[in-house]
């Protein structure tokens, strides 16, 4: 996408593609939306797609594919071992990242499972800018400890710092000194930090972290799932890389890392995942685990059709028109909301627009899941499915007490090339309405609470009858309109 100047002087996001296949979506009346969220236990993960207007739950596995990706699927080489498809994908990845070995896995968390299995031991610490839900679960289930060292600014809602996902270098040095390298499993950099607003990491910061890890002999792992957005921000926000070729930036990043892994549900607009390493000894450790947990080494649990689509999708990602897709729509959505006074994470990041439930639901105690309540309320007000990224997405402490999230966010993910600008405006309008009526949003409590990753299947109920009141007010204000 590109921002293009209109006659009025306004910069409008313009799609650099045309839509050639469509899927019908339903916008239910507010009364039916209320019923649907009730049936889903006030958890947007449990909504049925038929009850959802715009699915902004995630950017995972829901990005629109190009005609070249669909065409490539037809030539997939079906075979258990030695598939030509594997070698095509491997060649593309080696070219983009300049790394020697590629190991396929069925998705991002599968890579995390294998990396943790090899590097994490009980009592060892993993240091990272910020955790992702599945990453932390895989580390802690093995008895590992997670230390997060994102810079302070990274946890502030409003900021104008261009790279809020950077690691705090002083804290990194301190931790290495305090723990000693033997007690550190690995250091992990997450591109485009998922849980704190899709904020990017700077080249300069990655370089410093890499130098420190190399000196100390600590493995450095790069989660490249949200690399696409991060690449856009490096080109846009770092003067030094303004004219750099995207592929050369990828190679430069990979050259600083020992292990690169990714979810191909995000990177490359297909479905799958993979791990890249240079070191042969490490490669052999992974190689033994792939057939055990994923599938044979030449498919790793992915369908060969998806692998073909991924190979093409990754090549296409090396293009500003592609990596700009999500960040530009996120910026447009954030700007609409900011215009109406709605607090959102700034500067706009990748992945999605993040609405601040701490401010919007300040009248609720944090024990009543502010972000969860806002997420459900957004669905009632709009039919837009979004995701809670706050305390509900955390796990309770060992003693059963609640572990409060540092940020309480409702996340409106922006899948690549899927939604139009009028749909973005609709989302912004309904959330702005909700913001004006925020005093109507009440709290939630669990009725069923799984122990691990509770946000996926947990069920909740409202405290009081606020959802009915909210729906009633919506009907009053919008009349016959959906
Ligand atoms: C989505 C995601 C993962 C997990 O990938 P899946 O393919 O969903 O298993 C890991 N890390 C980050 C940063 C992600 O955004």
Q: CB burial class (10 A; 0-12, 13-18, 19+) of residue 202? A: buried
What pLDDT score was predicted for residue 482?
87
* Cβ of residue 265 lying under 6 Å from some atom of ligand 1: yes
Mean pLDDT over residues 142-168, rounded? 98
Torsion of CA 178, 180, 181, 182, to 10 degrees: -130
Residue 133 bears catalytic tag: yes
* Cβ of residue 60 lying under 6 Å from some atom of ligand 1: yes
Mean pLDDT over residues 325-349, rounded? 97
Task: Report in angstroms the alpha-carbon separations of 9 from 1, 3, 134, 444.
Answer: 18, 11, 44, 45
* Cβ of residue 188 lying under 6 Å from some atom of ligand 1: no
Q: CB burial class (10 A; 0-12, 13-18, 19+) of residue 218? A: buried
Torsion of CA 342, 345, 348, 352, to 10 degrees: -90
Considering only CA atoms, which residue is closest to atom 6 of ligand 1? 108
- Within a 13 Å sphere around the CA of 155, how many CA atoms are in the beta-carbon half? 15
- CA pair distance 114, 342, nearest whole angstrom: 41
Estimate the crossing angle of helix 304-317 against helix 84-97, to 10 degrees. 20
**DSSP secondary structure of 283-333:** HHHHHHHHHHHT--TTTTT--HHHHHHHHHHHHHHSSHHHHTHHHHHHHHH
Mean pLDDT over residues 38-55, rounded? 98
What pLDDT score was predicted for residue 45?
98
CA of 368 to the centre of ligand 1 (A): 27
Of 266, 417, 430, 454, the active-site residue reads 266
Beta bridge partners of 252: none
What sign does the dihedral 266-270-273-276 (CA atoms) show?
negative
The distance of Cα 185 from the centroid of its chain, to the nearest Å, equals 24
Of 42, 130, 233, 455, the active-site residue reads 455
Question: Contact 302/268 with Cβ under 8 angstroms?
Answer: no
* Cβ of residue 107 lying under 6 Å from some atom of ligand 1: yes
* Cβ of residue 113 lying under 6 Å from some atom of ligand 1: no
pLDDT (tens digit, 9 = 90+) per residue, 92-132?
Answer: 999 999 999 999 999 999 999 999 999 999 999 999 999 99
What pLDDT score was predicted for residue 35?
98
Question: Contact 271/90 with Cβ under 8 angstroms?
Answer: no
Mean pLDDT over residues 37-65, rounded? 97
Find the length of the chain: 482
Estimate the crossing angle of helix 325-339 against helix 227-237, to 10 degrees. 70
Residue 2 main-chain phi, psi, to 5 deg: -140, 145
pLDDT (tens digit, 9 = 90+) per residue, 293-314?
Answer: 999 999 999 999 999 999 999 9
* Tokens, residue 438: 């925020």
Mean pLDDT over residues 243-260, rounded? 98
Residue 456 bears catalytic tag: no
Task: Pick left, alpha or beta for residue 98 (phi over 0 → left; psi -120 to 50 → alpha; otherwise beta).
Answer: left
Residue with tokens 């994102």: 150
pLDDT at 210 over 90: yes
Residue 222 bears catalytic tag: no
* Tokens, residue 70: 């669909």
| Whether residue 54 has a cis bond before it, omega within 30° of 0 | no
Q: Based on C-alpha coordinates, what's the Rg of the chain?
A: 22
- Closest residue by Cα to residue 440 from 412, 406, 393, 475: 475
* Cβ of residue 273 lying under 6 Å from some atom of ligand 1: yes
Torsion of CA 457, 463, 465, 468, to 10 degrees: -40
Atom of ligand 1 nearest to the CA of 190: 13
Residue 109 bears catalytic tag: no
CA of 122 to the centre of ligand 1 (A): 23
Beta bridge partners of 142: none
* Tokens, residue 13: 């996001």
* Cβ of residue 194 lying under 6 Å from some atom of ligand 1: yes
Write the CB contacts of 91 (distance below 8 Å, at least 6 apart in sequence). Answer: none
- CA pair distance 339, 331, nearest whole angstrom: 12
Residue 296 bears catalytic tag: no
pLDDT (tens digit, 9 = 90+) per residue, 61-79?
Answer: 999 999 999 999 999 999 9
Mean pLDDT over residues 194-199, rounded? 94
* Cβ of residue 430 lying under 6 Å from some atom of ligand 1: no
The pick from 63, 129, 132 for probing ligand 1's pocket by mutation, whose C-beta has the most ligand atoms within 8 angstroms, reads 132
Of 45, 77, 133, 238, the active-site residue reads 133
What pLDDT score was predicted for residue 114?
98
pTM value? 0.95
Residue with tokens 């209109």: 6
Residue 298 bears catalytic tag: no
Question: Contact 355/26 with Cβ under 8 angstroms?
Answer: no
Write the CB contacts of 399 (distance below 8 Å, at least 6 apart in sequence). Answer: none
CA of 5 to the centre of ligand 1 (A): 35
SS3 at position 179: helix
Of 223, 229, 258, 356, the active-site residue reads 223
Of 5, 18, 80, 178, the active-site residue reads 80
Question: Contact 259/276 with Cβ under 8 angstroms?
Answer: yes
- Closest residue by Cα to residue 344 from 248, 415, 412, 270: 412
DSSP code for 184 = E
CA of 190 to the centre of ligand 1 (A): 10
Task: Pick left, alpha or beta for residue 424 (phi over 0 → left; psi -120 to 50 → alpha; otherwise beta).
Answer: alpha
* Cβ of residue 261 lying under 6 Å from some atom of ligand 1: no
- Closest residue by Cα to residue 228 from 187, 198, 195: 198
Residue 132 bears catalytic tag: yes
pLDDT (tens digit, 9 = 90+) per residue, 440-468?
Answer: 999 999 999 999 889 999 999 999 999 99
What pLDDT score was predicted for residue 311?
98
CA of 112 to the centre of ligand 1 (A): 9
Q: What proportion of the chain, given as a percentage, has pLDDT over 70? A: 100
What pLDDT score was predicted for residue 452?
87
**DSSP secondary structure of 227-277:** HHHHHHHHHHH-GGGTT--HHHHHHHHHHT-SEEEEETTTTTSSS-EEEEE
Of 53, 101, 132, 369, the active-site residue reads 132
pLDDT at 90 over 90: yes
Atom of ligand 1 nearest to the CA of 265: 7
pLDDT at 258 over 90: yes
CA of 121 to the centre of ligand 1 (A): 22
| Strand blocks (E) in 215-297 | 220-223, 259-263, 273-277
Considering only CA atoms, which residue is closest to atom 10 of ligand 1? 108
């Amino acid at each position: 996408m590109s921002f293009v100047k209109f006659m009025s002087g306004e910069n409008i996001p313009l799609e650099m593609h045309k839509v050639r296949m469509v899927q019908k979506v339903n916008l239910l009346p507010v009364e039916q939306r209320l019923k649907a969220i009730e049936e889903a236990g006030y958890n947007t993960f449990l909504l049925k797609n038929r009850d959802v207007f715009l699915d902004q739950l995630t950017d995972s596995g829901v990005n629109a594919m190009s005609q070249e990706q669909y065409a490539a699927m037809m030539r997939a080489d079906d075979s258990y071992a030695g598939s030509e498809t594997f070698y095509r994908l491997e060649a593309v990845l080696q070219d983009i990242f300049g790394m020697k070995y590629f190991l396929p896995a069925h998705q991002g968390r599968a890579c995390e499972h294998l990396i943790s299995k090899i590097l994490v031991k009980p009592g060892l610490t993993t240091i990272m800018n910020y955790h992702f839900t599945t990453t932390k679960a895989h580390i802690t289930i093995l008895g590992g400890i997670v230390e997060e060292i994102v810079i302070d600014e990274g946890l502030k809602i409003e900021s104008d710092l261009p790279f809020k996902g950077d690691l705090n270098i002083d804290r990194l040095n301190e931790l290495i000194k305090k723990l000693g390298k033997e007690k550190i499993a690995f250091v992990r950099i997450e591109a485009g930090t998922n849980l704190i607003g899709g904020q990017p990491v700077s080249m300069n910061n990655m370089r410093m972290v890499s130098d420190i890890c190399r000196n100390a002999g600590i493995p450095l792992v790069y989660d490249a799932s949200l690399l696409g957005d991060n690449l856009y921000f490096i080109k846009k926000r770092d003067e030094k890389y303004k004219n750099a070729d995207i592929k050369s930036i990828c190679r430069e990043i990979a050259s600083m890392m020992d292990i690169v892994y990714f979810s191909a549900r995000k990177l490359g607009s297909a479905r799958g995942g993979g791990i890249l390493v240079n070191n042969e000894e490490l490669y052999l450790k992974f190689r033994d685990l792939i057939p055990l947990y994923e599938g044979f080494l030449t498919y790793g649990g992915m369908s060969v059709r998806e692998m073909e689509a991924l190979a093409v999708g990754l090549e296409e990602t090396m293009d500003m028109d592609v990596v700009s897709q999500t960040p530009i729509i996120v910026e447009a959505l954030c700007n609409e909301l900011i215009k109406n006074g709605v607090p959102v994470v700034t500067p706009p990041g990748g992945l999605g627009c993040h609405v601040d439930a701490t401010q919007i639901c300040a009248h609720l105690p944090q024990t009543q899941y502010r972000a969860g309540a806002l997420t459900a309320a957004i669905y009632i007000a709009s039919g837009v499915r979004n995701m809670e990224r706050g305390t509900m997405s955390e796990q309770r402490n060992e003693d059963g007490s609640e572990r409060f999230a540092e940020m309480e966010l409702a996340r409106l993910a922006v899948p690549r090339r899927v939604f139009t600008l009028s749909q973005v405006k609709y989302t912004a309008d309904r959330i702005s309405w909700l913001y004006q009526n925020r005093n109507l949003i009440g709290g939630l409590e669990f009725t069923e609470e799984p122990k691990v990753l509770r946000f996926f299947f947990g069920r909740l109920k409202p405290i009081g009858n606020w959802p009915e009141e909210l729906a009633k007010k919506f009907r009053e204000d919008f009349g016959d309109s959906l």
